[in-house]
Amino acid sequence: MRPVLRFLSDELIEKIVGEAREILCKLGVEIHNKDILFMLGEHGAKVEMDRYHVFLTDEIIESALKAVPKSFKLYDVLGNETHHFSDYNVYFTPGSAALNILDYETNEIRKPKTTDYVRYVKVVSQLDNIASQSTAFIPADVCEKISDSYRLYLSFLYCEKPVVTGTFTMEAFNIMKEFQVIIRGSKEELKSKPLTIFSCCPTSPIKWSNVTSQNVVDCANFSIPVEFVSMPLSGFMAPVTLVGTLIQHTAETLSGVVISQFTNPGTPILYGGSPAIFDVRYETTPMGAVETMMIDCAYNEIGKYLGMPTQGYISLSDSKQLDAQAGLESGVGATLAALCGINNISGPGMLDFESCQSLEKLVLDNEICGMTIHLLKGIEPKEDFPSLPRFQELLKEQHLLISEHTRRYLNEEFYFPGVVIDRASRTRWQEEGSITLLERAHGEVERIIKNYVSSRLQDDTKKELTKLMTEEAHLYGMRNLPEHE
């Protein structure tokens, strides 16, 4: 039996959703995008153009909820299925869009370069428990105007896994979509085999900016999956209570569902978010706070109740280093998220309030994910009944190390983590150099990068992507892209 954890009763969910719908209909939502306002007006919503305000109706919300797909799949660059976002299936993806990376050599943060990004992608490509890549940080050695498309380009070049990404501007969408059309061969093929998910954020409280709402529309027009990332900050930009925050999150996310489904009914979406409590001592948004994680798990239950697959920024840490706090917050988050069935779990590798990626943490988190995924298998009998023969064997042989039963089920029943997790005896650990967690993790990073094998994406396709990226760079006055081979 797959273990499942719940925080909300159906009755409470009904009440929360009811309040959220009332907010959208009576207080309305601010959308700084005239085309969207016009579209919703055409469908019977009351629009106040001058203050970018729209009052939704129950019928609009209802028909958006009817149109939204209950599940969808992702495919890698080669076209193989990798994800089925449905029910309680869970997949991990690295935390996205960090400002810095934590440099192993100096133990300091710094702005990442192209070479850092390529190293990151090479690592992700080989981590078994991380199902997709994310555009995890922004190489600072290209001009800002292309920084969001450039990281996606590098991801497609070096790794086969699908990508969780997003744009910083409206203009960048076009090339980011073009890359995907090139890889799939046609718009139709891209539609039938989605390759990326774009994160699109409403602004708390209950507002959409021009850029992010246009991103939702652009994605919908190409059936590119979107994850809505609402970020109510409890006690600051949202009520202090977890239920109050959930009402706001529901209203903000439902407004996104309406925009996408009215643009193109049936566009795949993830009911996502990155809410946090606001720490009124430090003026920060802790992702590792237990209340933050409770909100994540709970809105995921609401999304499921409304019939949508879900996403969450959970299993990351606010610590500045790879230390016990990092393990604690990432481990608890991953476990809770998996037990609650958050379908796309964004977080591994991330530190410092979503602002710093660490490759060493990423390989450690890969083990956390592995253990968590194993946990979800639950406890099932495997030739355990009747048990007498097994115990007769044990009593006779005095051990079961080479028993048929052991050999058959050893690798299924146990998850053997890699060397990052220390399970040696103290003496052996000392004999092998008393290597610390950070050193072991770094060793793994280097080993994995050395073992990297190129992506099997066709060379011609890679060349086409490079041509497009280079043209885009020229457009913004960059003569050459940085070396990365």
| Burial readout 357-392 (b: 16 or more C-beta within 10 A, e: otherwise) | bbbbbbbbbbbbbbbbbbebeeeeeeeeeeeeebee
> Taking CB under 8 A as the rule, does residue 70 contact another protein?
no
Question: Interface residues for ligand B12 in 99-128 (CB under 6 A)?
Answer: 99
Residue 98 or 258: the one with the smaller Cβ distance to ligand B12 is 98
Q: Which is nearer to ligand B12, 97 or 258 (CB)?
A: 97
Find out whether 126 and 161 touch, Cβ atoms under 8 Å. no
The partner in contact with residue 281, picked from ligand B12, another protein, none with C-beta cut-offs of 5 to 8 angstroms by kind, is another protein
| CA-closest candidate to residue 97, choices 172, 29, 10 | 172
Binder of residue 166, out of another protein, ligand B12, none (CB less than 5 to 8 A by kind): ligand B12
Q: What angle do CA 18, 19, 20 make, to 5 degrees?
A: 90
**For residue 287, what are the contacts with CB-CB under 8 A and spacing of at least 6?**
274, 276, 313, 314, 316, 317, 318, 329, 333, 347, 350, 353, 354
The two structure tokens encoding residue 87: 């029910």
97 sits near ligand B12 (criterion: CB under 6 A):
yes
Mark 324-363 with x for binding to another protein (rule: CB under 8 A) and - for no binding: -----------------------------x-x--------
- If one asks whether residue 170 binds another protein (CB under 8 A), the answer comes out as no
209 interacts with another protein by CB under 8 A: yes
Q: Which residues contact 430 (CB under 8 A, 6 or more apart)?
A: none
Residues between 322 and 381 that touch ligand B12 (CB under 6 A)? 353-355
- The minimum distance between CB 197 and ligand B12, in angstroms, equals 11
Assess 173 for contact with another protein (CB under 8 A): no
Distance (Å, whole) CA 205 – CA 207:
6
Residue 280 binding another protein, by CB under 8 A: yes
| Alpha helices, H only, 46-186 | 58-67, 114-125, 147-158, 172-184
Task: Select the span of 5-13, 84-92, 280-288, 408-416 touching another protein (CB under 8 A).
Answer: 280-288
Q: Does the footprint of ligand B12 cover residue 212 (CB under 6 A)?
A: yes
Residue 102, beta-bridge partner list: 109
Q: Which is nearer to ligand B12, 201 or 314 (CB)?
A: 201
Q: Per-residue x/- marks for another protein, 120-139, CB under 8 A?
A: ------------------x-
Minimal CA–CA distance to 316: which of 337, 300, 299, 343?
A: 337
- Contact call for residue 201 and ligand B12 (CB under 6 A): yes
Query: What does the binding site for ligand B12 look like in residue numbers (CB under 6 A)?
Result: 96-99, 138, 166-168, 199-201, 203, 211-212, 231, 283, 285, 353-355
